[in-house]
């Protein structure tokens, strides 16, 4: 009886398949929607709110790309992925890009055949521990029980760190951040380790955040960034330069409030802003988009700095400082190649 | 005069392939085989085309690379420098461990609940009915998650037992139930421990010989030898050997002073194991209870009445008359419940237990990205286990099938 | 004499004494308690123990339930309202009920559509479940899948209509050709239906209107308990015909067909559903033609259907085996060919015997649909573990959510199993 459901869907899927042979950009345009892989729920980075609307730092990147390509920041299908399913989802074409705080590593880039288009958050793995244990350095953690969120590079870094310092620990693998938090607060593990941003976000939700400290050691480099499939350079360029546009916009002082005004006509004093916003040159055309692509991307949630402040910045419950994620001029690592 | 000849030889016609029952089955089988091969070939060609397009290949070389991650519960030597293969092996042993533990407790729980559900005590039978229905009608995944949460939130943190002035004392000086698991004294073996173990093994043999001897004499001569001697034979020699050799077998209690994080030493039954074990036991126990109830009800009422008229007490009726006959009905579904336990143990990662699905199908898969290979190996393992269990079931079914005269 | 008699007998009772009440220990509540609760010291002990257990559970549970907070915007607010007292934070249910029931992405103004489909499901299922209802209702049952698809997924009604048309064409062709031979009818019907769909596949997109009555909802937006219900009903109803075919194949005398079915059934039954879901999520995509892209829900439906059809095949095989040999022989001696014998004699009886088993498989499968949360789908369990517990406002609310989920499943599964027991009593036509 219900065969029809599948057959009907199969027919639809079959038709969709016919159009799918071309490049990702044409796919996205034909579909009218961007399929963007995000995490299943990490507050500040990607999580649906009470009305089902996805919010967060990674989500903002997806929306910026959708605005640049499709002229509609809401034309995004957010596909929740786990650590296990994210790479297959991208490799099989189920999603067009993955923005799921994924660490850029050699083997993911080379062996798994993905292309990291940049870094949207420089992170590092840290440890959180109750203050009352009186630990001030991760090297004092000999014999501790450590909660780890599985499916990330965290497990490997942790094993390396403890082995290098010749101290022992008991790992407790946990699937979701919420469950790790439950274990940690109940005292089932002494330490919770994940990316420092995640630790800050988790600590912010505690009843008494002051009772817990994040240890000073950052045991790994975790450059998190959006990635696309290997081989489709045209699409990779679009995602890469959308991200760069957000970063450059902050550097150049283009914000969500003034982008419309700045983009109206070319100002001879600011050639780079002109090129970025398409009032001068033909950068958009080179990407296969129109001239206003960056203007639209920036107009969604503003430049990199605005997105940061709105989702994970110091005014939010997560309260992250810019730190490494500041502009290069301010001592951070954000350094967009020039728009030229 | 007409001579009797063979009927005229029919010439073979193509239509006979469909219309003649002798050939039709070959036609169908041939078509089925062709279709199967075509589907397989289609899927395989897609697979290879996709892999080529993505620049990937199928290779099991990653199994010999260092795994790079640690596992909290390991029955064999393992550290982060061991290979992925060894990590998978640790996972396999953990799966088998939790599955066999859960099989035992689920059976005990199920038999008790099944028998009590049929008891004349109204309150108890209603309570058991509630237990059975509540657990049968809610997904096992939800039970695992709930029981995992329960164990985490109900136990004390080990902190309570640590230090100079612990807020909680260890039970009997050696047991501590915490939300990291159950700490117990461990057995230490000194010089001569082997002898004590040997003596104990020998006394097991002797005790069982005594039991069968008692039975034999009873049937042969009608004389009832003291059966309780079984227990002294079992225990006394080992205790004597232990005393004579100067206590080579000792217990070492977990140490609460060694470390500021954890109770050290002793034996730890980890929290993930306890949570999964408990969840699988009570969930499957509810199903086994239903099997037991059905088995008991399948035994003819006349059997109970006959036993009662022989003057047997209710407990004996159950043990000697009803249960042995009910077993024939109970055991086949029981074994498939064991199979279910093994398969359901694959949900271990929900409580952080490192079974094969969590190691090979989880962390290894994540780290290497070798999805096809890992999933294939995972299925192969479960398939082997369940084929083994079904083989055991078939042997049993043959051995208990009613011998009809 | 009569005098003496009158003298010696002072009083003769002429009416019978009304029967007096039994002693108080043999009546009413006391007797009931004596028989059912305290018939021996052991039972007495068990009763006291049970009472204690019940007391402990209720003493913890009831204050938590009745003292619960239903209106708050976050767990912190709950804690403030409770101010240290025991009580659940049920506000999470009042705020997130829609995500729990319909998933995070299903459009809020369209909730009536799955609800209507759900209600209609009962009407469609009724004639199948209850034999006393008029048979004409089966017509609605036949239309229901297409209607439900249209209601839940929305979009143009032409697609479900096309699917329906394919089945009707197939049925008509079957009716024409089956007089020659079942095989002609069967394969003819399949070919005819395929042609209809193929042609329709060109026509529908051409004439489909831009604006549709119901807005289309992509299947990855399905979630919550609705997703469990969809997966459960779709997969069970799809796996029934497949299961019948597999069971017949396994009983077949043709070795190749028999072995194909045996290997398939034993393979599927030997692996946990979760590995098959891993296949759906991380492997299956590699087996489809390059460039094609089935969405995850569809892949999961395929794998769960494969899974449940193996189990249903085994149940039906049990039904086939339980049928007395004489039924097969009787069919043969009437001169019926294989399809006729199966359709008219064997299957109706075998299926009747297998119904309780099929219902058991269906309940088990419905419960197992919660495993899709492991592969990042937001079904009821996935929505709890994913977005709801991850939300800053509700992190820390466990029992309220888990018990709600357990309650939903309990209601549905207990209802189905009660129906199954009722049916078993109805079908027990033998006299024991």
Tens of pLDDT, residues C220-239: 888 899 999 999 999 999 99
> Between chains, do B157 and A187 touch, taking CB under 8 Å as contact?
yes
pLDDT digits (tens, 9 = 90+) for C372-387: 998 888 899 999 988 8
pLDDT(C205) > 90: no
Q: Do A253 and A197 have their domain in common?
A: no
Q: Do A250 and A296 have their domain in common?
A: yes
Which carries the bigger pLDDT value, residue B315 or residue B377?
B377
For A47, the enclosing helix (H) or strand (E) is strand A47-48
- Is B395 inside a domain boundary? yes
Q: Do A153 and A272 have their domain in common?
A: no
pLDDT digits (tens, 9 = 90+) for C145-158: 899 999 988 888 88
Q: Do A250 and A114 have their domain in common?
A: yes
pLDDT digits (tens, 9 = 90+) for B10-55: 676 777 776 677 777 888 888 889 999 999 999 999 888 888 877 7
Q: For chain B, what is the mean pLDDT?
A: 85
Judge whether A267 is closer than 8 Å to chain B, CB to CB.
Answer: no
Chain centre to alpha carbon of residue C330 = 36
The pLDDT assigned to A115 comes to 92
Final residue before a domain boundary, out of A222, A247, A262 = A222
C-alpha span between B3 and A325 (Å, rounded): 107
C-alpha span between B263 and A144 (Å, rounded): 10
Contact C421, B290 (CB under 8 A): no
Which residues on C lie below 8 Å from A3 (Cβ)?
Answer: 145, 163, 167, 238
Exposed/middle/buried for A136, CB within 10 Å: 0-12, 13-18, 19+?
Answer: exposed
Domain assignment of residue B270, given as a range: 84-146+265-400
C-alpha span between A150 and A166 (Å, rounded): 23
- Is A319 inside a domain boundary? yes
> Between chains, do B367 and A88 touch, taking CB under 8 Å as contact?
no
**For residue B44, what are its two tokens?**
């395989």
For A125, the enclosing helix (H) or strand (E) is strand A125-130
Beta carbon pairs, A and B, within 8 Å: 110
Share of chain B above pLDDT 90, in %: 32
Beta carbon pairs, A and C, within 8 Å: 164
Q: Are strands A191-195 and A125-130 parallel, antiparallel or unpaired?
A: antiparallel
Task: Give whole-number Cα distances, C59 to A229, B153, C51, C53, C54, in Å.
Answer: 57, 18, 12, 10, 8
C-alpha span between C105 and B311 (Å, rounded): 68
**Segment of A297-306, B174-183, B391-400, C215-224 carrying the highest mean pLDDT:** A297-306
Which residues on B lie below 8 Å from A144 (Cβ)?
Answer: 261-262
Closest CA relative to residue B338, chosen from B392, B262, B397: B392
Domain assignment of residue A138, given as a range: 123-222
Judge whether C216 is closer than 8 Å to chain A, CB to CB.
Answer: no
Question: What domain count does chain B have?
Answer: 1
Q: Mutate which of A183, A211, A215, A231 to test chain B, going by most B C-beta atoms within 10 A?
A: A183
B213: CB partners within 8 A, 6+ apart: B225
**For residue C198, what are its two tokens?**
């193929």
- Is A98 inside a domain boundary? yes
The pLDDT assigned to B73 comes to 84
**Which 3 state secondary structure label does DSSP give C259?**
helix
Cα diameter, chain B: 120
Sign of CA dihedral C171, C172, C178, C179: positive
Exposed/middle/buried for A35, CB within 10 Å: 0-12, 13-18, 19+?
Answer: buried
The pLDDT assigned to A127 comes to 93
Contact C89, C112 (CB under 8 A): no
Closest CA relative to residue C100, chosen from C416, C382, C323, C412: C382
C-alpha span between B137 and C416 (Å, rounded): 10
Name which of A32-36, B206-210, C74-78, C212-216 the model is least confident about.
C212-216
Nearest to C272 among B33, B53, B346 (CB): B346
Q: Region C31-36: what's the mean pLDDT? A: 78
C92: CB partners within 8 A, 6+ apart: C75, C388, C394, C397, C400, C401
Question: Cα angle at B119 between B116 and B121, to 5 degrees?
Answer: 105
Sign of CA dihedral C226, C227, C230, C236: negative
pLDDT(C346) > 50: yes
- Is B378 inside a domain boundary? yes
User: pLDDT confidence of C86, banded at 50, 70, 90?
Assistant: confident
Exposed/middle/buried for A272, CB within 10 Å: 0-12, 13-18, 19+?
Answer: middle
SS3 for chain B, per residue? CCCCCCCCCCCCCCCHHHHCHHHHHHHHHHHHHHHHHHHHHHHHHHHHHHHHHHCCCCCCHHHHCECCCCCCCCCCCCCCCCEHHHHHHHHHHHHHHHHHHHHHHHHHHHHHHHHHHCCCCHHHHHHHHHHHHHHHCCCHHHHHHHHHHHHHHHCECHHHHCCCCCCCCCECCCEEEECCEEEECEEEECCCHHHHHHHHHHHHHHHHHHHHHHHHHHHHHCCCCCHHHHHHHHHHHHHHHHHHCCCCEEEECCECCCCCCCCECCEEEEHHHHHHHHHHHHHHHHHHHHHHHHHHHHCCHHHHHHHHHCCCCHHHHHHHHHHHHHHHHHHHHHHHHHHHHHHHHHHHHHHCCCCHHHHHHHHHHHHHCCHHHHHHHHHHHHHHHHHHHHHHHHHHHHHHCCCCC
pLDDT digits (tens, 9 = 90+) for B353-369: 999 998 998 888 888 87
The pLDDT assigned to C412 comes to 94
> Between chains, do C163 and A77 touch, taking CB under 8 Å as contact?
no
pLDDT digits (tens, 9 = 90+) for C185-195: 888 888 999 99
Nearest CA in chain B to C385: B145
- Is B304 inside a domain boundary? yes
Neighbours of B234 (CB within 10 A): 17
Q: Mutate which of B141, B153, B180 to test chain A, going by most A C-beta atoms within 10 A?
A: B180
Query: Which subunits sit against C, judged by 3+ Cβ pairs under 8 A?
Result: A, B
- Is A31 inside a domain boundary? yes
The pLDDT assigned to B8 comes to 59
Q: Region C347-361: what's the mean pLDDT? A: 87
Q: Do A99 and A155 have their domain in common?
A: no
pLDDT digits (tens, 9 = 90+) for B205-233: 998 998 888 888 888 888 888 878 888 88
> Between chains, do B55 and A171 touch, taking CB under 8 Å as contact?
no
The pLDDT assigned to B83 comes to 92
> Between chains, do A151 and B264 touch, taking CB under 8 Å as contact?
no
Q: Do A96 and A71 have their domain in common?
A: yes
> Between chains, do B365 and A189 touch, taking CB under 8 Å as contact?
no
pLDDT(B97) > 70: yes
The pLDDT assigned to A3 comes to 41
Q: Do A72 and A157 have their domain in common?
A: no
The pLDDT assigned to A16 comes to 42
User: pLDDT confidence of B401, banded at 50, 70, 90?
Assistant: low
**For residue A240, what are its two tokens?**
């890469």
Q: Do A265 and A170 have their domain in common?
A: no
Contact A148, A194 (CB under 8 A): yes
User: pLDDT confidence of C9, banded at 50, 70, 90?
Assistant: low
Final residue before a domain boundary, out of A222, A253, A284 = A222
pLDDT(C316) > 90: yes
Q: What is the C-alpha end-to-end distance of chain B, expressed in Å? A: 56
User: pLDDT confidence of C425, banded at 50, 70, 90?
Assistant: confident
- Is A339 inside a domain boundary? no
- Is B12 inside a domain boundary? no
Final residue before a domain boundary, out of A202, A222, A242 = A222
The pLDDT assigned to B18 comes to 67
Q: For chain A, what is the mean pLDDT?
A: 86
> Between chains, do C293 and A181 touch, taking CB under 8 Å as contact?
no
CATH number of the structural domain spanning residue B333: 1.10.3720.10
C-alpha span between A158 and B367 (Å, rounded): 14
Contact A177, A42 (CB under 8 A): yes
Which residues on C lie below 8 Å from A41 (Cβ)?
Answer: 386-387, 389-391
Domains of chain C: 28-90 (no CATH), 97-106+220-427 (1.10.3720.10), 156-213 (no CATH)
Question: What domain count does chain A have?
Answer: 2
Which residues on B lie below 8 Å from A183 (Cβ)?
Answer: 152, 352
pLDDT digits (tens, 9 = 90+) for B145-189: 999 999 988 878 877 777 777 777 777 777 888 888 888 888 887
Q: Do A183 and A251 have their domain in common?
A: no
pLDDT digits (tens, 9 = 90+) for A222-258: 899 999 998 888 999 999 999 999 999 999 999 999 9
- Is B141 inside a domain boundary? yes
User: pLDDT confidence of B85, banded at 50, 70, 90?
Assistant: very high
Reported pTM: 0.88
Q: Do A164 and A235 have their domain in common?
A: no
Exposed/middle/buried for C349, CB within 10 Å: 0-12, 13-18, 19+?
Answer: middle
Q: Do A237 and A148 have their domain in common?
A: no
CATH number of the structural domain spanning residue A106: 3.40.190.10
- Is B96 inside a domain boundary? yes
Contact B98, B270 (CB under 8 A): no
pLDDT(A1) > 50: no
- Is B232 inside a domain boundary? no
Task: Give whole-number Cα distances, B170 to A169, B181, B254, B265, C183, in Å.
Answer: 23, 13, 9, 14, 75
Nearest CA in chain C to B133: C414
């Amino acid at each position: 009886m219900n065969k029809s459901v599948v057959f009907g869907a199969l027919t639809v899927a079959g038709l969709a398949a016919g159009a799918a042979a071309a490049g990702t950009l044409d796919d996205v345009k034909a579909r009218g929607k961007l399929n963007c892989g995000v995490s299943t729920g990490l507050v500040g980075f990607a999580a649906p709110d009470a009305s089902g609307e996805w919010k967060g730092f990674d989500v903002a990147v997806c929306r910026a790309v959708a605005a640049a390509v499709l002229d509609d920041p809401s034309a995004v299908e957010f596909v929740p992925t786990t650590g296990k399913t994210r790479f297959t989802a991208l490799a099989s074409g189920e999603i067009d890009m993955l923005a799921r705080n994924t660490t850029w590593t050699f083997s993911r880039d080379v062996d798994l055949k993905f292309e990291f288009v940049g870094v949207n958050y420089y992170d590092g793995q840290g440890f959180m521990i109750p203050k009352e244990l009186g630990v001030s350095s991760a090297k004092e953690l000999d014999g501790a029980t450590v909660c780890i969120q599985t499916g990330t590079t965290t497990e490997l870094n942790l094993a390396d760190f403890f082995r290098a310092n010749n101290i022992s620990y008991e790992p407790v693998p946990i699937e979701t951040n919420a469950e790790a938090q439950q274990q940690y607060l109940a005292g089932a593990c002494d330490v919770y380790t994940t990316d420092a941003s995640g630790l800050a976000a988790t600590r912010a939700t505690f009843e008494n955040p002051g009772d817990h400290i994040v240890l000073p050691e950052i045991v790994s480099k975790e450059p998190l960034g959006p990635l696309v499939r290997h081989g489709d350079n045209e699409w990779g360029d679009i995602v890469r330069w959308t991200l760069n546009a957000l970063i450059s916009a902050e550097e150049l002082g283009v914000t969500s409030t003034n982008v419309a005004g700045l983009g109206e006509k070319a100002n001879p004093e600011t050639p780079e802003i002109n090129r970025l916003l398409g009032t001068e040159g033909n950068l958009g055309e080179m990407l296969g988009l129109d001239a206003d692509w960056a203007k639209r991307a920036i107009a969604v949630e503003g430049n990199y700095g605005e997105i940061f402040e709105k989702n994970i910045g110091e005014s939010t419950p997560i309260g992250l400082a810019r730190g490494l994620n500041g502009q290069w001029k301010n001592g951070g690592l954000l350094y967009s190649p020039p728009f030229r | 005069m007409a001579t009797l000849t063979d009927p005229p030889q029919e010439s073979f016609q193509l239509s006979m392939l469909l219309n003649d029952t002798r050939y039709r089955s070959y036609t169908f089988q041939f078509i089925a085989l062709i279709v199967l091969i075509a589907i397989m070939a289609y899927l395989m060609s897609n697979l290879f085309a996709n892999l080529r397009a993505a620049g990937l290949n199928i290779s099991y070389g990653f199994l010999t690379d260092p795994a790079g991650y640690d596992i909290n519960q390991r029955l064999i030597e393992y550290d982060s420098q061991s290979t992925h293969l060894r990590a998978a092996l640790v996972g396999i042993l953990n799966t088998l461990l939790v599955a066999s533990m859960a099989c035992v407790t689920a059976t005990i729980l199920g038999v008790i609940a099944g028998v009590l559900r049929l008891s004349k005590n109204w309150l108890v039978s209603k309570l058991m009915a509630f237990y059975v229905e509540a657990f049968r009608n809610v997904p096992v995944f939800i039970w695992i998650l709930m029981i995992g949460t329960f164990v985490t939130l109900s136990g004390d943190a080990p902190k309570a037992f640590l230090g100079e002035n612990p807020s909680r004392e260890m039970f009997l000086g050696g047991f501590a139930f915490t939300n990291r698991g159950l700490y117990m004294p461990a057995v230490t073996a000194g010089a001569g421990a082997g002898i004590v173990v040997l003596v104990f093994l020998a006394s097991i043999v002797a005790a069982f010989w005594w039991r069968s001897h008692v039975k034999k004499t009873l049937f042969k001569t009608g004389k009832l030898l003291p059966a309780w001697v079984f227990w002294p034979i079992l225990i006394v020699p080992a205790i004597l050997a232990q005393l004579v050799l100067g206590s080579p077998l000792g217990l070492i209690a977990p140490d609460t002073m060694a470390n500021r994080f954890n109770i050290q030493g002793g034996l730890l039954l980890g929290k993930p194991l306890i949570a999964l074990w408990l969840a699988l036991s009570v969930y499957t126990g509810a199903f086994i209870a239903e099997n037991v109830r059905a088995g008991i009800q399948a035994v003819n009422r006349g059997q109970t009445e006959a036993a009662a008229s022989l003057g047997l007490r209710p407990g004996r009726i159950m043990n000697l008359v009803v249960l042995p006959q009910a077993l024939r009905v109970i055991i086949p579904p029981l074994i498939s419940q064991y199979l279910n336990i093994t398969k359901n143990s694959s949900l271990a990662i929900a409580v952080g237990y490192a079974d094969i699905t969590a190691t090979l199908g989880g962390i290894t898969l994540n780290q290497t990205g070798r999805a096809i290979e890992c999933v294939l190996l995972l299925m192969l393992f479960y398939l082997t286990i369940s084929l083994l269990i079904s083989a055991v079931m078939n042997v049993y079914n043959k051995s208990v099938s009613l011998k009809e005269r | 004499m009569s005098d003496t008699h009158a003298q010696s007998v002072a009083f003769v009772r002429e009416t019978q004494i009304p029967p007096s009440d039994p002693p108080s220990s043999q009546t009413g509540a006391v007797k009931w308690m004596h028989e059912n609760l305290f018939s021996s010291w052991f039972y007495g002990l068990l009763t006291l123990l049970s009472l204690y257990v019940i007391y402990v559970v209720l003493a913890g549970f009831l204050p938590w339930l009745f003292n619960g907070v239903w209106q708050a915007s976050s767990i912190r607010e709950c804690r403030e309202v409770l101010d240290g007292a025991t009580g659940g934070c049920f506000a999470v249910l009042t705020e997130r009920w829609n995500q729990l029931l319909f998933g995070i992405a299903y459009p809020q103004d369209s909730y009536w559509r799955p609800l209507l489909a759900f209600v209609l499901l009962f009407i469609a299922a009724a004639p199948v479940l209850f034999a006393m209802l008029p048979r004409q209702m089966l017509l609605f049952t036949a239309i229901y899948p297409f209607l439900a698809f249209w209601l839940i997924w929305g979009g143009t009604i032409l697609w479900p209509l096309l699917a329906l048309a394919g089945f009707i064409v197939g049925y008509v062709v079957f009716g024409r050709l089956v007089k020659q031979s079942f095989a002609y009818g069967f394969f003819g019907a399949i070919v005819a239906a395929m042609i209809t769909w193929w042609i329709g596949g060109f026509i529908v997109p051409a004439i489909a209107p831009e604006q549709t009555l119901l807005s289309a909802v992509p299947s990855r937006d399905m979630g919550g308990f609705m997703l469990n219900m969809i997966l459960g009903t779709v997969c069970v109803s799809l796996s029934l015909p497949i299961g019948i075919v597999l069971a017949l194949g396994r009983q077949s005398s043709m070795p190749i067909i028999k072995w194909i079915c045996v290997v398939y059934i034993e393979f599927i039954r030997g692996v946990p559903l979760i590995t098959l879901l891993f296949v759906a999520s991380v492997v299956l995509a590699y087996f489809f033609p390059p460039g094609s892209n089935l969405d995850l829900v569809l892949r999961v439906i395929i794998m769960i259907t494969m899974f449940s059809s193996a189990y249903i095949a085994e149940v039906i095989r049990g039904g086939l085996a339980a049928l007395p040999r004489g039924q097969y022989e009787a069919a043969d001696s009437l001169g019926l060919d294989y399809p006729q014998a199966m359709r008219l004699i064997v299957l109706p009886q075998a299926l009747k015997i297998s119904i309780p088993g099929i219902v058991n498989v269906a309940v088990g499968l419905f419960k197992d649909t919660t495993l899709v949360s492991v592969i990042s789908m937001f079904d009821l369990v996935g929505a709890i573990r994913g977005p709801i517990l991850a939300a800053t406002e509700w992190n820390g609310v466990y029992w309220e959510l888990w018990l709600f989920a357990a309650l939903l499943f309990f209601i549905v599964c207990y209802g189905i199993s009660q129906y199954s027991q009722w049916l078993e009593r109805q079908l027990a036509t033998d006299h024991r």
